[in-house]
């Protein structure tokens, strides 16, 4: 919010998220390095440096694949939403793992070059015209450079400084970076793989990212089409029985706007689904004390007025609701941002005192 650049404080969820992530990385490295060293064996003779490099490279690849699966999973099933919450820490940790991988490679393959090892990395192999022996490291270098830029600009300060649209565009570079890692592995180590464990992890990871993105896009298109067929006047949202206390149902309007309709202490309120900070999905946040917290960076809004609590001044539009029997109906004409709307009692869902 606008007083300072720290809209999200550390909280227990974040500590747990980071601890689980660290544990996962530790476990992955332990299994690949010690418990099952044969998993990463290749045709070429292995030594500890290369063994470490392979384990860290495989770990960075798996982490990047998981990061890219979280978005579509959360769109397909809200139970995955908690994973979105601290995804940027996941990204930063991935960069450290990837840097360790590159460090081992550079220190092993290029440390004894007659020229500087970084120059050797770039110029030792220039066979770009052929598939066999293609300098696949170049794809790894591009990916690593991009990931470092994304991690370095992940803090909210940079979002404010660069402006949200520019920041968002820069962060879409995660996709070219991932494709580059896929090319790095496909042109590189996959060519001389003897043991197929890593090949299965690799193809499985890349396929999961592709298929989940396709499924999420098709899912959104189906929802959009169903909703576009709705009436122009009061539009039905859902049956009151389908609502969960403290959470929202998201309604897409014919004009493309999304509205978050909440059930809060037995009453219904609706605000725009787009956060004033960077259009984060407010309908995916949970209400506590009448305030919904944006899952992206933690801005908060009162669901009855669309206003951030003082001293913050952000506002989003509100919407009028009514009920017809158990059906919740929404007036698609938005109220000006910050307009208070009296919450509507939800039949059969009255709050227990
Ligand atoms: C400066 C950047 C990089 C360089 C120079 C580099 C170089 C290499 C080399 C030489 C290998 C083959 C190692 C061997 O002999 O077995 C390799 C494998 C690999 N790299 Fe990279 N890499 C870089 C960045 C990355 C990044 C950013 C990722 C992922 C996020 C990555 C993921 C992998 C994976 C998954 C393997 C295969 C590991 C295995 O065999 O199980 N690399 N890399
Ligand atoms: S807090 Fe950043 S988009 Fe909502």
The string of pLDDT tens digits covering residues 222-260 is 876 765 555 458 889 999 999 999 999 999 887 778 899
From CA 136, how far away is CA 182, in angstroms rounded? 10
Q: Are the C-beta atoms of residues 266 and 349 closer than 8 Å to each other?
A: yes
Q: Is the CB of 73 under 6 A from ligand 2?
A: no
Place of tokens 């299994």: 31
Q: Is the CB of 39 under 6 A from ligand 1?
A: no
Angle at 275 between CA 274 and CA 276, to 5 degrees: 115
Q: How far is the CA of 142 from the centre of ligand 2 (A)?
A: 29
pTM given for the model: 0.71
Decide: helix, strand or coil at residue 301: strand
| Mutate which of 51, 67, 100, 101 for ligand 1 pocket (most atoms within 8 A of beta carbon) | 101
pLDDT higher than threshold 50 for residue 3 = no
**206-218 burial: b if 16+ Cβ within 10 Å, else e:** bebbeebbeebee
pLDDT classification of 5: cutoffs 50, 70, 90: very low
pLDDT given at position 51 = 84
Ligand nearest to C-alpha 192: 1
pLDDT given at position 50 = 83
Mean pLDDT for all residues in the chain: 84
Q: Is the CB of 60 under 6 A from ligand 1?
A: yes
pLDDT given at position 231 = 47
Give mean pLDDT, residues 29-42.
74
Q: How far is the CA of 262 from the centre of ligand 1 (A)?
A: 47
pLDDT given at position 7 = 45
Which has more confidence, 83 or 211?
211
pLDDT given at position 341 = 95
| Mutate which of 156, 159, 258, 294 for ligand 2 pocket (most atoms within 8 A of beta carbon) | 294
Torsion angle of C-alpha atoms 254, 259, 265, 268, degrees rounded to 10: -30
Give mean pLDDT, residues 58-64.
95
pLDDT given at position 41 = 58
pLDDT given at position 248 = 93
| Index of the ligand 1 atom closest to the CA of residue 94 | 30
Decide: helix, strand or coil at residue 300: strand
Q: What separation, in Å, do the N-terminal and C-terminal C-alpha atoms of the chain show?
A: 34
Task: Look up residue 272 and give its DSSP letter.
Answer: E
Runs of H (alpha helix) within the chain = 12-30, 48-76, 81-84, 87-109, 117-123, 137-152, 156-162, 164-171, 174-187, 197-228
| Index of the ligand 2 atom closest to the CA of residue 7 | 1
């Amino acid at each position: 919010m606008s007083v300072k650049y720290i809209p999200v404080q550390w909280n227990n969820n974040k500590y747990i998220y980071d601890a689980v992530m660290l544990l996962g990385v530790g476990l992955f490295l332990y299994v690949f390095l010690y418990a099952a060293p044969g998993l990463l064996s290749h045709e070429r003779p292995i030594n500890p440096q290369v063994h470490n490099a392979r384990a860290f490279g495989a770990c960075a690849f798996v982490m990047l694949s998981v990061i890219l699966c979280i978005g579509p999973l959360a769109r397909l099933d809200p139970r995955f939403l908690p994973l979105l919450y601290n995804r940027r820490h996941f990204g930063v940790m991935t960069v450290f793992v990837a840097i360790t991988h590159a460090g081992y490679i550079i220190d092993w393959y290029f440390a004894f070059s007659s020229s500087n090892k970084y120059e050797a990395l770039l110029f030792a192999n220039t066979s770009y015209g052929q598939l066999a022996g293609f300098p696949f490291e170049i794809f790894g270098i591009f990916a690593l450079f991009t990931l470092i830029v994304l991690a370095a600009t992940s803090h909210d300060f940079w979002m404010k400084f660069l402006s949200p649209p520019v920041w968002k565009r820069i962060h879409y570079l995660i996709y070219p970076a991932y494709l580059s890692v896929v090319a790095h592995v496909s042109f590189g180590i996959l060519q001389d793989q003897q043991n197929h464990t890593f090949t299965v992890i690799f193809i499985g990871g890349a396929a999961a990212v592709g298929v989940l993105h396709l499924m999420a896009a098709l899912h959104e298109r189906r929802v959009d089409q169903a909703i576009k067929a709705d009436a122009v006047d009061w539009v039905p949202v859902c049956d009151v029985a389908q609502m969960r206390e403290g959470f929202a149902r998201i309604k897409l309007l014919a004009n493309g706007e999304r509205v978050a309709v909440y059930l809060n202490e037995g009453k219904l309120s609706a605000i725009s689904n787009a956060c004033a900070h960077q259009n984060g999905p407010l309908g995916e946040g949970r209400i506590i004390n009448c305030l919904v917290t944006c899952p992206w960076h933690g801005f908060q809004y009162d669901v009855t007025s669309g206003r951030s609590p003082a001293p913050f001044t952000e506002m989003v539009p509100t919407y009028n609701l009514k009920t017809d029997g158990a059906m919740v109906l929404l007036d698609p004409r938005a109220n000006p941002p910050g307009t208070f709307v009296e919450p509507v009692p939800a039949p059969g869902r009255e709050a227990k005192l």
